[in-house]
Amino acid sequence: MRGNIFVITSGKGGVGKTTTTANLGVALARLGKQVALVDADIGLRNLDLVLGLEKRIVYDVVDLAEGRCQPRQALIKDKRINGLFLMPAAQTKDKESVSETQMARVAHSLGADFDVVLIDCPAGIEHGFRNAVAGADEAIVVTMPEVSAIRDADRVIGMLGSRRARLVVNRVRPDMVRTGDMLSVDDVAEILGREVLGVVPDDEEIIDTTNRGQPVSLDPSRRLSAMYAIMARRLMGEDIKPLEIDADGLWTKLRRIMVGQR
Amino acid sequence: MSNEVRPQEELIALPAPKTIGDALAAAAAQPPEPVAVAAVEPPPAEPAPKKRVRMPRATEAKGRAIVITSGKGGVGKTTVTANLGAALADAGKRVVVFDADVGLRNLDVVMGLENRVRMHALDVIEERCELDEALVRDRVRRSLLLLPAAQNRDKDEIEPEDMTDLVSELTEQFDFVLIDCPAGIEQGFRNAVVGAQEAIIVTTPEVSAVRDADRVAGLLPNDMPARLIINRLRPALVKKGTMMSVDDVLEVLRLELVGVIPDDREVIVATNRGNPVVDMPGSATGQALRRIAARLLGENVPIPDLTQRKDWFSNVLSKLNFSRADAKG
């Protein structure tokens, strides 16, 4: 096993699995990797929207799992960046229409052809979760510094078995951490007892870029691109620190440097 | 906390309670002092009777069972459930909020009741305890109760018929049964919906949330009235054109709008502390939730256009922190 198949999961919904999958995929492709993104949220697919590829779907992962098409027919190549491919989910099917074995087979066949496979897991811990996890070597658990998200992440980590699980702490608001209204990244890591792969601050840029199907990582000048670039390099085994958003507030610092205010 | 672990004894000691809700109202009226109760009628020597106190059936007004669902997770189902429950209880209604997210329960945390949960819905269904024993009373509101979900079980372990029975039993005792649905459209979703008569679909003004809401609306039974809450609206972003407006969302979804809730960072603080946002004075989010509760009660409360209001706070905030020109230096 090459260990290049990652499931991106969270338990709780809306913490940023799909956004993380899309942006981490773009950042990995930017590093020159061949990347396949698999949308495992059958019936509630969204990765295609976030990537802006929804109009190009012909076949989907259920077709592939049931042998109605070849991987290369279902894969959609992102024309904006080299090496990035999407395996879309079916929208009108049930999650129960695919078995864990079938999903694992899909993941492994993509894993043989690509440098990295990222599987976007549905929310919850039902059949769809088990499908998404079945073929993964490792897990990336996305969470937020919020009690309910952490509790769900804890539950999910317990269900990942022996797989290595690393954390992406999403939607951190440094100002709220400073005032004590939000848990810090260190607190989250300590509660969950897992290594932090990346940290992403809360930023309204994400809403806009998601709505327009333009992942923020496509534009290196965007503020959040750097966060995903570091996450990608860490995932590829580079020994660099996850960008720390310290108590002073990264944006406060950056703004001070760029604008010279405060 | 000792008064929390004996709902049955209270029910028995109080003079002829007709329903749990009546008993609660009575309990709220008098100080919840177990010693005083015991003085009126000494507890029986044998262990507390395990038989269920059967409530009289079919009072003319059966309660309304409303499922709060969304498809996409993290759009605010649980927060909306907890806060509508609180607001409806404040309006004098007997309310139970029912966590249907088996295995990933959170309603107890959001309400700050996680340490008081003893039994859960699956215990009731599998007859390990009576319904009354599983209900957890809110810390502040005596007529608001929580029916928790099981945390270490699977959603597939509940049959739809069990849910229908449980919800219908709850509607006999409460004016409102608010069912907090799990994310997704799998078994957990189907179970949460099956016992309800009405649905509230929560979405946020984002394409992915709206698409999932559309999918969920199509999966609800045809005869189930579904109304829409648009959550986390940021008027400043709508004005900038980077966020879908209420009209944009309604054009896609074509559902009856029951309320629009502005985004508010206070919600995170309140949720982490287990306090309802409706209790925060001056919170626009809390006010919006109270208006929704009033509309559920049939009051004619207009839905204000949040983008029209001169929201100086978010203006100041956007100038200081988030404006794009500023960020690019």
The correct answer on CATH 3.60.15.10 for the domain covering A5-259 is: no
* Nearby residues of B143 by Cβ (< 8 Å), 6 or more positions away: B21, B24, B25, B28, B89, B92, B93, B94, B95
Same-domain pairing of B170 and B116: yes
Same-domain pairing of B186 and B261: yes
Same-domain pairing of B157 and B285: yes
How many domains does chain B fold into?
2
Summarize the confidence of residues B67-79 as an average pLDDT.
Answer: 96
Please tell me which of the candidates A148, A208, A210 has its beta carbon nearest to residue B110: A148
Same-domain pairing of B252 and B292: yes
* Closest to A146 (Cα-Cα) out of A114, A107, A111, A187: A187
Same-domain pairing of B132 and B254: yes
Q: What is the pLDDT of residue B60?
A: 46
- Residue contacts between A and B (CB atoms, under 8 Å): 136
Regions of chain A where pLDDT drops below 50: 1, 247, 260-262
Which band of pLDDT confidence, cut at 50, 70 and 90, is reported for residue B10? Answer: very low
pLDDT in tens, B47-64: 444 444 444 444 445 899
How many angstroms separate the Cα of B94 from the Cα of each of A18, B89, B141, B177, B224? 39, 6, 10, 9, 23
At residue B43, does pLDDT exceed 50?
Answer: no
Residue ranges covered by each domain of chain A: 5-259
Q: What is the pLDDT of residue B311?
A: 54
Strands of the sheet with A35-39, listed across from one edge:
A76-77, A84-87, A35-39, A116-120, A5-9, A138-143, A164-172, A196-201
Same-domain pairing of B140 and B270: yes
Type of residue found at B90: D
Q: Is B110 on the interface with A (CB under 8 A)?
A: yes
Q: What is the pLDDT of residue A247?
A: 46
Mutate to test the interface with A, among B68, B115, B208 (most CBs of A within 10 A): B208
* Cβ-Cβ contacts under 8 Å, B211 against chain A: 46, 49
- For residue B52, is it within any domain? no
Tokens representing A163? 């797989």
- For residue B319, is it within any domain? no
CB contact under 8 A, B74 and A13: yes
- Between CA A18 and CA A215 the distance in angstroms is 10
Q: What is the pLDDT of residue B309?
A: 58
Same-domain pairing of B19 and B85: no
Residue of B nearest to A179 (CA): B269
Q: What is the pLDDT of residue B286?
A: 95
Q: What's the mean pLDDT when you consider all of chain B?
A: 83
Please tell me which of the candidates B151, B155, B207 has its beta carbon nearest to residue A126: B155
The domain in which residue B154 lies consists of 64-299
User: Bridge-partner residues for B226, per DSSP?
Assistant: B199
- For residue B73, is it within any domain? yes
CB contact under 8 A, A207 and B242: yes
- For residue B50, is it within any domain? no
- For residue B221, is it within any domain? yes
Lowest mean pLDDT among A105-119, B37-51, B217-231: B37-51
Q: What is the pLDDT of residue B84?
A: 98
Q: Check which CATH number belongs to the domain holding B271 and give it.
A: 3.40.50.300
Min distance B202 CA to chain A CA atoms (Å): 13
Min distance A1 CA to chain B CA atoms (Å): 30
Same-domain pairing of B32 and B74: no
Same-domain pairing of B194 and B284: yes
Summarize the confidence of residues B297-319 as an average pLDDT.
Answer: 74
What is the pairing mode between strands A5-9 and A116-120?
parallel
- For residue B237, is it within any domain? yes
* Cβ-Cβ contacts under 8 Å, B190 against chain A: none
- Between CA B63 and CA B161 the distance in angstroms is 19
Q: What is the pLDDT of residue B15?
A: 44
Same-domain pairing of B33 and B69: no
